[in-house]
Structure 1
Amino acid sequence: MKGHTAAKRDWWQGRSSGQQWCLHEKVQLPPLPYRNAPGTPKAIALVGYACDEGVRRNLGRPGAAHGPDAIRSQLAKMPNHLDRETALLDLGNLSAPNGDMEAAQQNLAQVVQNILGHTHFPIVLGGGHDLAYGHLMGLKLALGKEKKLGIINFDAHFDLRNNGHGNHSGTPFFQFAKDCERDASGFHYLCLGIRQDANHQELFKTAETLGAQFVPQEHFNMHFLEHVQLRLVQFMEDVDLLYTTIDLDGFSSAFAPGCSAASPMGFSPDIVLECLKLILASGKAVSLDIAEMNPEYDRDHQTAKLAASLVHFVLHQLP
């Protein structure tokens, strides 16, 4: 596959116990296309979207192409609490040679379809938030349009910009909404953490037109936990399956300075973890990704550690 880099053992380093105490000792590095090995009834498959072309097109700060490796470097050192029967796979990175973001998205769609074809759980590490469109295309290829797929986006931005002048990191959910309109499959979207200072008026109108739901940042905190949980449960009850995407620029820069559009006005990790508990406990979650990890602007690997801790949490909360 053009633009694919196979996973390397160098990406997974840490203290050695000889007993798989750390995730770098647990992870397996199979080639693409992935073929299910005997004896792996349950597996979680990581794939990196090493592309920030969408960020560049959106006039953001490039650097997220190095995000997947930054997340892996912190995740590798974290403790392994998975049972021996659960496999952890790393399928490598997908990039965008010559700035061909659309090819990278198509490749991601194929890889996600491949992973879901083995009934494994994909976690995509980004990379610009344009990864969401590739991820969603892969979900549609694997799951069909009969099931109602719910999108839960932890983000300061709707990413519903019109793509009439081209695709970029701000257009993925608009693109998917239009795909759903064409095949009459329905667009079910909930965005948690929306900031008024990060979305112009037209985006709120677009969200209303498309039937998108959102919780504003001023209500997305532990003081409003019951309200947030109620909104989340109501949304989840109305869909069959759930795709979750976490944009690191939704967090306050106190927690996540290493992203394209960092802001001190974002949310905190505690409310995200509470929501992830509900999402994963629902039994409807089919995939997840983390976007906008930009190590060029990180401080002491703080954002990479946050992203890795979120992945670690998901790995160990999956039913």
Structure 2
Amino acid sequence: MDNWHGRIDDPTDPETFRWHQVVRPMEGSAAPGIALLGFASDEGIRRNNGRPGAADGPAAMRNALANLPVAHTRPLYDAGDVACTDGDLEGAQQRYAACVTGLLADGHFPIGMGGGHEIAFGSYLGLAGSANAGRIAIVNLDAHFDLRDNPVATSGTPFLQASRHAAANGIALDYVCLGTSAASNTRRLFRTAQETGTRYLVDQDMTAAHSRAQVERVRQWLQPADSIYLTICLDVLPHAVAPGVSAPNARGVSLDLLEPFIAATVQTGRVKIFDIAELSPPLDRDNATARVAARLVHGLVQ
């Protein structure tokens, strides 16, 4: 709990409390609540020839969350980290998935803190392995499809891995990618998106003028889902807003344009798990990206 410290306005008045005053270590008998779970890994980024540093993301996110005001009513827990320190990314993803499945079984809402976007395959596996998951929809806010076909898992493969796992195990899966950049995905990746039935909006179509219609389109895409996994790769944001990522985005989608899509997804009432990926503290100027990540988490749990 070393990362949980900050300002105290009044130690006796709950209306002044901040996250560091209410978060508790996860225990087996804990009442259902919000469970923060870190995935301290940048092995997938390394394998994908990206800039490492995201393994430090969970600690930085805790620091950024610690001083935020409490605006939620559910209990808040820190479930610790699953780390990839030996190069065995696949084993770390399996361990992370087991933690997610256990948290869901105990009635918690898991919030994953990356780490590279290789967290996504672990999150998907955790949800897919839970009881009553039913038809799953993945909503990924990301400049990249992350549908690479690679001999080993990387930060660029998780959603093709999920698609293949679902097909092999009789799981109905819909994949929605919002904020896709034509400058960040090859023609092969766009073809893979078509072959896997991926629905997507490119960054240039996510504008204020078209926001209402596009949000409604996403709502329609999500109607068949029984369970939704929402994931945000911070490189969907412009570089000026989120510099601390492996692959900075020259254009990106602004926070005010992303928020209605996040809200519409959460308002379905079927989001079972959420994570934020690619926070890389060594590359983060003035902790700007960590602060954006914390604000996104704060807004989602209210």
Normalised by the length of structure 1, the TM-score is 0.91
Report the Cα offset of residue 143 of structure 1.
Answer: 3.3
CA contact (8 A) 1:187 1:210 kept: no
* 1:73 matches 2:66: no
| Structure 2 counterparts to residues 1-319 of structure 1, below 5 A | 8=1, 10-16=2-8, 17-18=10-11, 19-20=13-14, 21-30=17-26, 34-37=27-30, 40=31, 42-83=32-73, 86-143=74-131, 147-163=134-150, 165-316=151-302
SS in 2 for 1:80: coil
Alignment partner, residue 4 of structure 1: none
Per-residue Cα deviation, 1:229-275 (whole angstroms, up to 9, x for no partner)? 12211111121111000000111111100000012211111122111
Alignment partner, residue 5 of structure 1: none
SS in 1 for 2:24: coil
CA contact (8 A) 1:221 1:268 kept: no
Q: For 1:295 and 1:55, how far apart are their aligned partners in 2?
A: 14
Normalised by the length of structure 2, the TM-score is 0.96
SS in 1 for 2:179: strand
Q: For 1:273 and 1:36, how far apart are their aligned partners in 2?
A: 34
Q: For 2:72 and 2:241, how far apart are their aligned partners in 1?
A: 27
SS in 2 for 1:260: coil
Q: For 1:222 and 1:153, how far apart are their aligned partners in 2?
A: 20
CA contact (8 A) 1:50 1:93 kept: yes
Report the Cα offset of residue 166 of structure 1.
Answer: 1.3
SS in 2 for 1:192: strand
Q: For 1:211 and 1:186, how far apart are their aligned partners in 2?
A: 12
Structure 2 unmatched ranges of 5 or more: none
Q: Detail structure 1 runs of 4+ shifted over 4 Å in the superposition.
A: none
**Identity over aligned pairs, percent:** 38
Per-residue Cα deviation, 1:71-103 (whole angstroms, up to 9, x for no partner)? 1101100001223xx100001111112111111
Structure 1 unmatched ranges of 5 or more: 1-7
Q: For 1:265 and 1:78, how far apart are their aligned partners in 2?
A: 29
Report the Cα offset of residue 280 of structure 1.
Answer: 1.5
Return the letter of the residue paired with 1:196: A
Report the Cα offset of residue 281 of structure 1.
Answer: 1.4
Q: For 2:248 and 2:213, how far apart are their aligned partners in 1?
A: 26
Report the Cα offset of residue 144 of structure 1.
Answer: 5.3
Q: For 2:107 and 2:248, how far apart are their aligned partners in 1?
A: 35
Q: For 2:128 and 2:92, how far apart are their aligned partners in 1?
A: 17
Per-residue Cα deviation, 1:274-315 (whole angstroms, up to 9, x for no partner)? 112111111111110000000111111100000000000111
CA contact (8 A) 2:97 2:123 kept: yes
CA contact (8 A) 1:22 1:79 kept: yes
Q: For 1:102 and 1:196, how far apart are their aligned partners in 2?
A: 29
CA contact (8 A) 2:120 2:231 kept: yes
CA contact (8 A) 1:68 1:127 kept: yes
CA contact (8 A) 2:52 2:246 kept: yes
CA contact (8 A) 2:105 2:131 kept: no
Report the RMSD for the aligned CA atoms in angstroms: 1.2
Return the letter of the residue paired with 1:315: V
